[in-house]
Structure 1
Amino acid sequence: MTSASVTVEPVVDTPQRDTVQARLARKAPEARRKARIDKVFGRLARRLQRRVNAEADLAGHYSNRINRVDLSSEDGPEDQVDLDPQDDEDASAGEPFLNRDALLLPPVLTMVTAAVARAIVDADAGKATRLFRPARVVAFEAPESWQEGVESIIKACLVAQGWKAREHAYLRSHYRHSGPGVALFKDSGPGDLRSKDIDEDGSALSWLALYLHERYAICIITEDFDALAEEAGAACDVVMSLGTLEVEDLDRTFLALHDRDLGLAEAVDPEVLRSKSLFEIGTAMREREAPARTRARLRRMLSASASAPKAGSKSGGKTGPIPLEELIGYGEARTWGLDLALDLAAYRKGEVSWEDLDRGLVLAGPPGVGKTRFAASLAASCGLHLVATSAAAWQACGHLGDYLRAMRRDFDEARRKAPSLLFIDEIDAVGSRTNLQIHNSDYVRMAINGLLEQLDGFEAREGVIVVGATNNPGVLDPALLRPGRLEKVIEIPLPDEEDLAGILRQYLMEDLPDIDLDRTARFLSGASGADVEALVRTVRARARRAGERLSERHLQDELLKRTPRYTVEERWQMAVHEAGHALVAHLFGLPVYRMSLVSPETGPHAFVGMGFSAVPTEADIDMHLAVLLAGRVAEEALNGMISTASGGPRESDLARASVLAAMQEISCGLGTSLLWREPPEKAEARLATDHHLQKKVRLRLEEIAHLVRGMLSTRMQPLYRLAAFLAHRGELGEEQIAKLLSDVDCGGSDALRRSLLH
């Protein structure tokens, strides 16, 4: 009897087998994504190539140096670009991206095409020929240097058969005779959707509404999506952000131009690549040259060592994010970030568990204070991969299902690339379940629940720090701030004068070493870090264009241009107004740090130390109201008339006083009734509709104004003196103000508060 031969296969134990299967499962979506992008890029590139060759033949020359491509969209059905993910994945397998026997695409246009293909797939936009469909708004956010290429791709590849893409400047005169198509809005000319200005033909926004009514598809090409008018941004169904190249874009470009994979992933540092402009990279590329030469050139330009500061470099290598240690004006947020960096270092060494780390934060503050900059610095200093997104970008992806898919996609990327930092800008746009409106309650509730689902769970978020940013923390859903989620809110205020001087030096670097930064900072009072950066960039450009070395004169000229110009009468009126604020504050024993009529950022103002205590009393609130109304009362006392200086926007004296008095009445129990009716943040909305409350607030403000009138009536001489000095000099510091008011007794300020206001 012959014995059977038995081969024993090694058995993989269940945990290891599960790990292998999980790894393969994670790779599968990425492989499908890559295949789809390859397919889309190949079809877009081949169609563009046919158009370039057709135009070259029409022009009567054959050249591989095409600097400008003006492409129409009148193509036959054989050229349609079908990007349905259900298409046969092997339809173009093995087919080269470009026909190498014909005129190749310019390298820069090829790179843009690769980036557009990636953006379309990542946006899950479906068929490209259905990207632009009737009454749909699609936005491309791209730097100016990209926009010509993006427009060429749209016109040649992304417009459905029988349609044409035309600029608004043309369409507004011909849209009734143009048939179906795509209306193209760009940042310049009459199609600028950043502005609501109205010319003889109406505003760009009104034309956008008309085209949508006429069932046109809309394409917006803009350099900054956030700069669009609010209505235009909200109308977008799909938003694709371009402007930085990824290594995979370069790989596809070289496969197209050289028909081989150069293995750039090992030679190129992704962060260095993202810091380069499109044309900087284009200078390293040559058509039809030996691939090894191109690879070597790119390696020199884009490797990690290429970003290291050179000996004697003036910039000190500060082209990337500023390290946390060097951030100025970030206060508690900077301290939190430095502590997190230490904790993460201990976590990587196994000294602490993930549960012991701060894993979330909300940054709050007005626009321009540097919330996004802080996130970039935090990621760089902590060695975290940065995934930057916004609630508005999620919403722009489409209906609720698209919104939640976009949210999950960003969280998945952060988990996949952990340790990472997920930065969510405008997180308040997700909404709050405490302030639901009937028409959108289900939408907001499901959006919040989707975000909470992504934030919850120790295992799901290990290695992922989540930082949100908002201008209005009061409207956040309270559940977002519970332990294990975003946990806490840290305010980033506008920088004070000392911080402004430091920020100015940071952006000037080694230029203008002898400038009086403190004096310059006083002129920038009320500015944000972004304002200072823009100022320095402007003066550098002005000096460069004039062929001159940057000097203090350039900075002074720019500040002078930004300084408000007033007539003698206007200057006196504003000086009296600010003197009223300062004098009444002084009478209450409050510090007056500075008065100015010349700040280009804040306009006329008096800086008074007028914060509330932890538990403000009724007298504290009345004192606050008195200081707010003092400018208006002083105008009436000295000039015999009242200007609009105290009213206007919601940041004005009168608006702040009205809302504060309303809070006193309906939230604090310090008005005419002990009844609590609304939380403080809803006082403004309640005041707009509650006529009974309006009457109570009006009477209270009139009573406070009467008391302030009595305070100033016996102190007209110091009021006049302070106003006259301010009108003459334009600016007064703390010591000058104290000297001018030295004969005004503010002793017993606590007693004064009680006696005058009760």
Structure 2
Amino acid sequence: MENTKQDLSKQPTKRGNPYMGFLWGILIVLFLNGLVFPNLMDRKIYKTDYGDFIEKINSGQVREVMIEDKQIYFTADNEKGQQTTYQTGAINDPQLVDRLLQAKSPNQSGKIAFNQIVPRENSPILNFILMWILPGLLFYIIWKQTSKSLQARLGAGGNFMSFGNSGAKIYADSDIKTTFADVAGQNEAKEMLSEIVNFLHNPQKYTDIGASLPKGALLVGPPGTGKTLIARAVAGEAKVPFFAISGSEFVQMFVGMGAAKVRDLFKQASEKAPCIIFIDEIDAIGKKRDSAYGGNDEREQTLNQLLTEMDGFDGRKGVVILAATNRPEMLDKALLRPGRFDRRIQMELPDLEGRKAILQVHLKKVKHETIDLDIVARATAGSSGAELANIVNEAALRAVRLGRQRVITADLEESVETVIAGAQKKDKVISPEEKKIISYHEIGHALVAALQSHSAPVHKITIIPRTSGALGYTMQVDRGEHVLMSQEDLFNRIATLTGGRAAEELLCQTVTTGASNDIEQATQLARSMVTRFGMSKKYDMMGLEQVNNAYLGGNTTLNCSAETAAEIDEEVLRLIKEAHQKARDLISKHIPVMHEAASYLIEKETITGDEFMKILQKYREQAS
């Protein structure tokens, strides 16, 4: 195995600009060329007419005259006795010389000094340089710089407009410091990829039994789950060179260049084998080929070349292809068949224990006190590894802003809210009437959540505005990790979402725009219950909606007739009305709790779930 000692992607050491000597030469030539002209720039020259020139000669004010073909420069004394240089146009005046000879002058000799300037011609060598050498060199420099710019943009190497040079970033085995220890929360993916590492370390053990190395592994998952990170970790564990390139870099303006890049990439990889090729966002070139809707010829040629190269190279050489995508459903079937991408590795969002492990990895990079990882991990359900890394970084920044040298649990909790809802807007002025409505709205959410059995406990209630536009929010944190949600769980969630509007209606006798986000979430949940989860008696287990791009937001498409779509709307409305009525009933039975909790929230602006539950428990004891 070749052990490259330096980063293959680094450029050679920069040396002096080879054109600097040439530029200095141009400056010297121009300087020497300037010596052939009279140096009049050190004087201030005033323009005048020829009549004034003759008048000054006759009055004896002119000291010196220099005559050119079309211009006359003369020096004369002004009214203050100061010498001034004038310029006038030359006129065919045969008597001018006689006037100059006969006129008087302030000079000591009493005569005007005059002469005619004879233009000096450049030497033949200088003319040759200025007319031929200089334009040729300038044209060559412009052509050379343009060639380099186009080569960089088009990915061409060597001669101008030549195909080749994959454009991949190549990292030597000694330069990759990432290992599996830097990847947390993806134990299943690491286990599947560790076999590739073992094969690269000890291929004989597998070839003896007749097994061959998987040619490719496709990493699939939502953004931020660590697909690129784990690919680098595989190379770091195997101690082999790492070729990294994005799928979009293959698609070029000129037909055939993408295919040339693929050929060059695999050629370089074969020379450096064993090694790992990582193609990020492979869906840029691996989309399904569908002639019914037309296609991109360049992209399809690039895909065809990739398929050919994956079939052509020998897996026993140790060239492994890793690819990542957020849209696996978009990939061509020929790309996913065995013999090409043999393995599909799911990089899902981490569970509770996975989030704890990821937080521990990133907390190693910052100074911190004892952190309650359990509460932070439970508050970040649904967060990716990248989001958790951002949360730890935001916590460190907050500790610095507050003048502390170590991160504490409160920093992490606040950073969770900053990432989810934005930073606090402490300077935003809210009227007392609006603050009252917001308080009742948030307490309505909290009360409905607390009074239902299948609902996450209330963790925090606040009416401090956030930069995301939220005027307040109620945070619920589950005690554990839930993989499944029952029909009752979802219905109670919708009831909790309608609790804010129900509180406005019952206690403020109004409705506001503050429930807009609640309405959006409640509608989406109710629609999913009807169309996707089979939780409607009317439609039983009939699938009415299809999810597209599950890892990129999950937009949906209805698979039913227009009449059925209208009936679905009616069913969704029924669910929301039932949940809304349930929230109204729960709040109307606990009006005193609402008043006291809302007043306490207005005073403190932020209260914990424990403080809210104490108020609720006090009234429960009084009622019993």
- Residue type at the aligned position of 2:253: G
Equivalent residue runs for 1:132-531 within 5 Å: 270=172, 321-349=177-205, 352=208, 355-395=211-251, 397-433=252-288, 438-440=293-295, 446=301, 448-456=303-311, 459=314, 462-496=317-351, 498-509=353-364, 511-518=366-373, 527-531=383-387
For the structure 1 residues 445 and 511, does the alpha-carbon distance in structure 2 shift closer, same or farther, using more than 3 Å as the test? Answer: closer
3-state SS in 2 of match to 1:415: helix
Are the counterparts in 1 of residues 215 and 310 from structure 2 also a CA contact under 8 Å? Answer: no
- The whole-number CA distance in structure 1 between the counterparts of 2:384 and 2:354 is 10
**Does structure 1 residue 654 correspond to structure 2 residue 526?**
no
The partner residue of 1:46 within 18, 27, 50 is 18
Q: 2:570 aligns with which of 699, 702, 705?
A: 699
1:645 paired to 2:513: no
**Do the aligned partners of residues 712 and 351 (structure 1) sit closer, same or farther apart at CA in structure 2, a change above 3 Å counting?**
same
Partners in 1 of 2:536 and 2:254 — Cα distance?
44
Tell me the amino acid that sits aligned with residue 424 of structure 2: R
* Counterpart contact for 1:363–1:371, Cα < 8 Å: yes
Partner of 1:106: none
Q: Report the counterpart of residue 551 of structure 1 in structure 2.
A: 406
Deviation readout 1:54-83 (Å, 9 max, x if unpaired): 799999xxxxxxxxxxxxx99821323459
CA RMSD, 1 decimal: 5.7
Name the SS of the counterpart of 2:548 in structure 1.
helix
1:432 and 1:476 in contact (8 A); partners too: yes
Shift of 1:380: 0.6
Summarize the Cα distance change of 1:338–1:626 in structure 2 as closer, same or farther, 3 Å threshold. same
1:123 to 1:636, Cα distance in 2 relative to 1, 3 A: same
Distance in 2 between residues matched to 1:540 and 1:58, nearest whole Å: 60
* 1:381 Cα deviation after fit: 0.7
Q: What one-letter code is carried by the residue in structure 1 that aligns with 2:18?
A: R
Cα distance 1:656–1:672, how it changes in 2: closer, same or farther (>3 A)? closer
Higher relative CO (CA 8 A, sep ≥ 6), structure 1 or 2?
2
1-structure distance, mates of 2:384, 2:336: 27
Letter of the structure 1 residue corresponding to residue 244 of structure 2:
A
Counterpart CA distance in 2 for 1:738 and 1:492 is: 42
Indicate whether 1:78 and 2:140 are aligned. Answer: yes
**SS, match of residue 573 in structure 2:** helix
SS in 2 for 1:367: coil
Find the aligned partners of 2:140 and 2:26 in 1 and give their Cα distance.
Answer: 15
Residue segments in structure 1 that go unaligned for 5+ positions in a row: 1-33, 60-72, 86-112, 132-237, 247-268, 275-319, 614-619, 745-758
CA distance, structure 1, for counterparts of residue 533 and residue 237 of structure 2: 45
Which residue of structure 1 aligns with residue 123 of structure 2?
none
Q: 1:677 to 1:521 in 2, by over 3 A?
A: closer
C-alpha distance in structure 2 between counterparts of 1:126 and 1:426, whole Å: 30
Which residues in structure 2 correspond to 1:95-106 (within 5 Å)?
A: none
**Shift of residue 391 of structure 1?**
1.4
Separation of aligned partners in 2, 1:671 and 1:430: 44
Distance 2:407 2:286 in 1: 47
Q: In structure 1, what is the Cα distance between the partners aligned to 2:156 and 2:440?
A: 57
CA distance in 1, matches of 2:319, 2:543: 41
1:352 shift after superposition: 4.8
SS of the residue 1:388 aligns to: strand
**What is the CA–CA distance in structure 1 between the aligned matches of 2:260 and 2:476, rounded to whole Å?**
49
Contact in 1 for aligned 2:544/2:559 (Cα 8 Å): no
Give CA deviations for 1:438-484 in whole Å, capped at 9, x if unaligned.
Answer: 14376665554444333336736852222222223343334433323
Paired residue type of 2:231: A
Instruction: Report the more deviating stretch, 695-704 or 677-686.
Output: 677-686
Secondary structure at the counterpart of residue 340 of structure 1: helix
| TM-score (norm: length of structure 2) | 0.57
> TM-score by structure 1 length?
0.48
Q: Secondary structure of 2:570's partner?
A: helix
CA distance in 2, matches of 1:709, 1:554: 36
| SS of equivalent to 2:277 | strand
The higher radius of gyration belongs to 2
- Secondary structure, in 3 states, of the residue corresponding to 2:345? strand
Query: Contact 2:269/2:319 (CA < 8 Å) preserved in 1?
Result: yes
Q: Mean Cα displacement is larger for which, 598-607 or 623-632?
A: 598-607
Tell me, yes or no, if the aligned pair for 2:242 and 2:278 is still in contact at 8 Å.
Answer: yes
Larger helix share, 1 or 2: 1
Q: Which residue of 1 aligns with 2:579?
A: 708
Shift of 1:377: 0.8
Residue type of the alignment partner of 1:635: G
SS in structure 1 of the partner of residue 341 of structure 2: coil
- Counterpart AA for 1:681: N
Structure 2 CA distance, aligned partners of 1:722 and 1:464?
Answer: 66
Cα offset, 1:324, TM superposition: 0.7
The count of corresponding residues between Structure 1 and Structure 2 is 469
Q: CA deviation at 1:393?
A: 1.9
Shift of 1:436: 7.1
